[in-house]
Amino acid sequence: MKTFLALILVASAALAQDVEKQLKRVSHNANFAVLPVWYTDPSDRTKSGVVGTAFLVTPDGYFITAAHVLEHYKSQSADMMVSLRQRSRDMVGIPFDLIEKDDTHDLALCKTATPLKFVARKENPGTERPVASLHIASSAPVAGEFIAIAGFPLGSWSPAIQFGNVAAIYTTNPNSGRVPAGQRDLIQISASGNMGNSGSPVIELDTGNVIGVIVQAQPAPLFGPLSNSLPLAQSSGIMLAVPASWVNDLLKRHGVTSIAQQPPEGHTSYDPLPEK
């Protein structure tokens, strides 16, 4: 009996280590594939901040986000941009073009207005712009599978990686009104979401493929001790995501094929800068 229990403990420890390795690998790639979406109020330039998340699906600049994140987007305007991380961890703003905004499915396809081709800058390595891109899954998600989401919650300038699982692969929820098309096809994700996570990729842990895009967090109501107090809300730990099949349909309409590419080895912010 003791031997059997010991084997179970050893197997459990090995599984936990395997999951941790997968999460670290996915996190490393996602860190350089996700982009914060910035908006500056043209009537008051002091009002500027991160309003959502986008992620690259090709290394040359095509990216996906949630359509509602681009509510204030205007063509040929610098009011809304995405930011790239430099090796030094500084950010640089990049304008982008809107290819298609699909409000029915709450998805948008965009492309950076300037090329993202990586160039190693030996004379000034801190200004290098390492990027990665993520592949969109072709298979359906499975309830219970482990996932990671990567994004910029609560106005963060740095990407936050969260661990969770697929809670349900179909959704019947009266609060999911933001996505008019196929609401029952929305995926429920068990992870704590906040403002800024809209547009975040839901990444399958064992493959690194994107199985969905976060479009809405489900708040849990909080009520004060007084009967006439106003209702407040906190994160319920459940987020809604549109499925990868919708993303693939959007890419197909424009002849774009998603590509999984890791960040350039030796040139990321994880790698120390050479001594001068």
What share of the chain in percent tops pLDDT 90?
49
Least confident of 15-24, 43-52, 76-85, 123-132: 123-132
Contact 54, 70 (CB under 8 A): no
Contact 147, 168 (CB under 8 A): no
pLDDT in tens, 47-95: 888 999 999 999 999 999 999 999 999 988 889 999 988 777 778 889 9
What share of the chain in percent tops pLDDT 70?
75
Compute CA 82 distance to the chain's CA centroid, rounded to the nearest angstrom.
13
Band the pLDDT of 147: cuts 50, 70, 90: very high
Q: Please give the structure tokens belonging to residue 56.
A: 């690259």
What does the radius of gyration of the chain's CA atoms come to, in whole angstroms? 20
pLDDT in tens, 170-212: 876 655 556 666 667 889 999 887 888 999 999 999 999 999 9
pLDDT in tens, 236-274: 678 899 999 999 999 999 999 999 999 887 767 666 666
Residue 180 burial by CB count (10 A; 0-12/13-18/19+): exposed, middle or buried? exposed
CA atoms within 13 A on the CB side of 27: 14
| Separation CA 273–CA 259 (nearest Å) | 28
Domains of the chain, earliest start first = 32-127 (2.40.10.10)
| Separation CA 210–CA 160 (nearest Å) | 16
